Amino acid sequence: MALGSAFETHEVFNQAPLYDGVNLYTSDAALMAAVKAEDADWADDRLTAFGAELGRAELFDEGERANRFLPELKVHDSRGYRQDMVEFHPSYHRFMSISKREHIHCGAFDGLATDARPKAPGVGVARAARHYMMSQVEAGHICPITMTHAAIPAIAQEPSLAATWLPKILSPSYDPALKPMAEKSGATIGMGMTEKQGGTDVRANTSVARPSGARGPGEPYLVTGHKWFMSAPMCDAFLVLAQAEGGLSVFLMPRFRADGSLNGLRFQRLKNKLGNKSNASSEVEFHDAEAYLIGEEGRGIRNIMTMAHYTRLDCALGSAGLMRQAFSRAIHHAVHRQVFQKRLVDQPMMTGVLADLALEVDAATHLALRLAGAFERHDNDAEQAFARLMTPVAKYWITKRGPSLGYEAMECLGGNGYLEDGINARIYRELPVNSIWEGTGSVMCLDVFRVMTREPDAVAATLVVLEAAAGRDRHYDALLDSLKDRIASHSLGERDGRWLTESLALLAAAAILMDRAPAPVAEGYLANRLAPRATPASFGVLAAGTDARAILEASVPTFLS
């Protein structure tokens, strides 16, 4: 008898057992296949142990607490001195500690000296797998973890800053104290680009920076202005955009000045957000805040894009993880819940809905991990070019598919899915943010369009990957031919950005699945995503001949056994 099942008025039965003891690695066939295909399965033991640690009800409860007890801004201390600090619930700190212990904040750069290159094949993919699993349990704290990770190659560009900051950034120790970096055992990094008058259009930034002494890379400047969004304000420093005499530039702005005093960051308030509750996102003013120039003045956008490239990969990974967890909960419920004398999972329409969700989640998992693999193949020009084009494609497509998948998965649990007691409601509120921040959906499409028109190497490298999968499916071939025709005829305009991006995403996902996924999943994806449709379909409207049961058996065997 389950705990608490004996009530005076009724017996509780036909509810799914607690989601507990589900290994987030070994229960995820697509993740394991992707890790293996990227030659990172040497990390299987560590990933299995981490998957077991994360898949416990106790940790999911901790995630719920981190999102229920919200961060609070404490502008002044009890004596009236400014402190500009944010207090978090202990659950949030616990997740930060785990993610730092697991090197999710630096893992693609494990073994780093100063050149910001991965040192062993597969470290970036193994780190991506840990990020994806952790996102399933608590996604809010992933924001500073991701930004810290992405800041590494940007800071590495400036040797004087790299020498002092990178050892603290690479440290696995989480030290939440508000103290100068030199006194801390580990550091985290945030990012401030968005101002009130423009987030996408950062050239409109009005924050200004003037040198406090000598001008140039690595030198201290004083920044005055504001940021309308600056997440994770308890980070030890931020990469900030401001206008210098030479144009828009990027600076490293620490919380403390070199003389040990609190720097001129004045937090105004915390955002009241739809989701992403455990993470604090601030509005901040800079009052002559000390900050160090990274790279040359006027190269701000180019230099901060080094960071944004990595954060966009993480948005794709994070959304894929959230989609996986939403789907896992749906399949877990459907396997255990009986309706009309049959398990839900065996009701034909539900089998179809779940199979369709499985196709989407497996495609997202494979696409995100394949991209993580391309990121770390630094010495392979074709892979770097592929990553250049596919990063905005994957960020756009996976984060766009997330919310509708999260909604459908929630509905699979019926009324229970809609309740805040469970995780599906939290995931549903979390999913849209990955599409909005780090460049919105249309901004990703503009980036894709820009690469298409200006970086022929990236287009060529991607077409080589897509053409390698041609000749196996007529819908795939038709879409690929149409894409190539339109590229060759230069008939694509900005308004075609979404068509272009979605075509690339579908083709890339299908190509990867044909190579790496079980046949029912790959064939199901081709039949249900690449065949043209007159109207958009909701999940579960499957093409004739789709074997939904076979898809589920291939995708989530451990849940069905």
Site residues, ligand FAD (CB under 6 A): 190-194, 198-200, 229-231, 273, 276, 281, 433, 436-443, 446
Q: Enumerate the H helices of 413-529 as residue ranges.
A: 424-430, 433-436, 441-454, 456-467, 474-488, 497-516, 519-525
Let me know: does 510 contact 530? Beta carbons within 8 Å.
yes
Q: How far is the CB of 241 from ligand FAD (least distance, A)?
A: 8
Q: How far is the CB of 193 from ligand FAD (least distance, A)?
A: 3
Q: What is the DSSP string of 372-429?
A: HHHHH-TT-HHHHHHHHHHHHHHHHHHHHHHHHHHHHHHHHTGGGGGSTTSSHHHHHH
| HSE, side-chain direction, 13 A CA sphere, residue 172 | 10
- Beta-carbon contacts of residue 346 (< 8 Å; ≥ 6 apart): none
Helix (H, G, I), strand (E, B), or coil: what is residue 232? coil
Residues 183 and 410: their CA atoms lie apart, in Å, by 46
Let me know: does 303 contact 294? Beta carbons within 8 Å.
yes
- The phi and psi torsions of 548 (rounded to 5 degrees) equal -60, -40
Residues 332 and 334: their CA atoms lie apart, in Å, by 6
Q: How far is the CB of 190 from ligand FAD (least distance, A)?
A: 6
DSSP 261: S
**How many Cβ atoms from other residues are within 10 Å of residue 217's Cβ?**
18
| HSE, side-chain direction, 13 A CA sphere, residue 447 | 22
* Residue closer to ligand FAD (CB basis): 276 or 424: 276
End-to-end, the C-alpha distance of the chain in Å comes to 22
Burial class (CB in 10 A: 0-12, 13-18, 19+), 442: middle
Tokens of 367: 């696409």
Residues 303 and 345: their CA atoms lie apart, in Å, by 50
Let me know: does 205 contact 241? Beta carbons within 8 Å.
yes
Q: Which of 376, 369, 398 is nearest to 47 (CA)?
A: 369
* Residue closer to ligand FAD (CB basis): 76 or 302: 302
**How many Cβ atoms from other residues are within 10 Å of residue 499's Cβ?**
14
Q: How far is the CB of 518 from ligand FAD (least distance, A)?
A: 36
Residues 513 and 515: their CA atoms lie apart, in Å, by 5
* Residue closer to ligand FAD (CB basis): 277 or 516: 277
* Residue closer to ligand FAD (CB basis): 327 or 449: 449
Let me know: does 60 contact 95? Beta carbons within 8 Å.
no
289: amino acid identity, one letter: A
DSSP 222: E
Q: Which of 3, 92, 21 is nearest to 57 (CA)?
A: 21
